[in-house]
Amino acid sequence: EVQLVESGGGLVQPGGSLRLSCAASGFTFTSFWMTWARQAPGKGLEWVATVNHDGRDKYYVDSLKGRFTISRDNAKNSVYLQMNSLRAEDTAVYYCARDIDVRGQGTTVTVSS
Amino acid sequence: QAGLTQPPSVSKALRQTATLTCTGNNRNIGNQGAAWLQQYQGHPPRLLSDRNNNRPSGVSERFSASRSGNIASLTVTGLQPEDEADYYCSAWDSSLNAWVFGGGTKLTVL
């Protein structure tokens, strides 16, 4: 069974940092590009970042470039999202996806003082 | 990044057929296809159809996806109360190198 389990969310002050993790299982991890997407309260889905099979190619939504970094560790079947200089508007549930297949419950990030 | 266009809401009667549409361009839907996700209020989204119009295991055969040019469609037959949800389309944009989403369609079963 395909499983994606996100972790690392929480409450952080504006300007702070968080590192989200996503543990994958049940499929050949190296066969898939991996994606982070998010959903702010009451809003639709928003793509955040994608990393290719070997982690060399990374793509970001324009508004987040320079603050967020996606990475993967194929030895650990995991993908990560390092989030720096967090702002109130980054408050959302963050989902990990295999391609665009969201399987997890997400992890909630709240940016507030 | 420019998104895909979905109607905000669609309402259909119980046991009828609903067709949800998603309009993009030849850099996303037109050459990459579109995926469809279903989301119940307060729950994470679930993939209904990948960008090759394949249903993951466990997804009802009442859901079928198709594409004509730059427009993707999700058809739901024999509408049931449990089909009331938000439906999102998404496609990889080969020009932007980005996933783009539609704004979502709220399906109401009358």
Query: How close A89 gets to chain B, by Cα (Å)?
Result: 17
Question: What pLDDT was estimated at residue A103?
Answer: 86
> Cα–Cα distance between B46 and B81 in angstroms, integer?
17
How many C-beta neighbours within 10 Å does residue B23 have? Answer: 16
**Radius of gyration, alpha carbons of chain A:** 13
Question: What pLDDT was estimated at residue B10?
Answer: 98
- Which of A1, A6, A39, A45 would you mutate first to test chain B, the one with the most B CBs within 10 A? A45
> Cα–Cα distance between A78 and A25 in angstroms, integer?
9
Question: What pLDDT was estimated at residue B94?
Answer: 93
Q: B2: pLDDT confidence band, cut at 50, 70 and 90? A: low
Per-residue pLDDT of chain A (113 residues; tens, 9 = 90+): 999 999 999 999 999 999 999 999 999 999 999 999 999 999 999 999 999 999 999 999 998 878 999 999 999 999 999 999 999 999 999 999 999 999 889 999 999 99
The distance from CA B75 to its chain's CA centroid, rounded to whole angstroms, is 9
> Under an 8 Å CB criterion, which residues of A touch B?
35, 37, 44-47, 50, 59, 61-62, 93, 95, 99-102, 104-106
A100 vs B50: CB contact, 8 Å cut-off? yes
Quick: pLDDT tens for B60-104: 999 999 999 999 999 999 999 999 999 999 999 999 999 999 999
Q: Does pLDDT of B106 surpass 80?
A: yes
Q: B1: pLDDT confidence band, cut at 50, 70 and 90? A: low
Quick one: B110 exposed, middle or buried, by C-beta within 10 A (0-12, 13-18, 19+)?
exposed
> Cα–Cα distance between A65 and A63 in angstroms, integer?
6
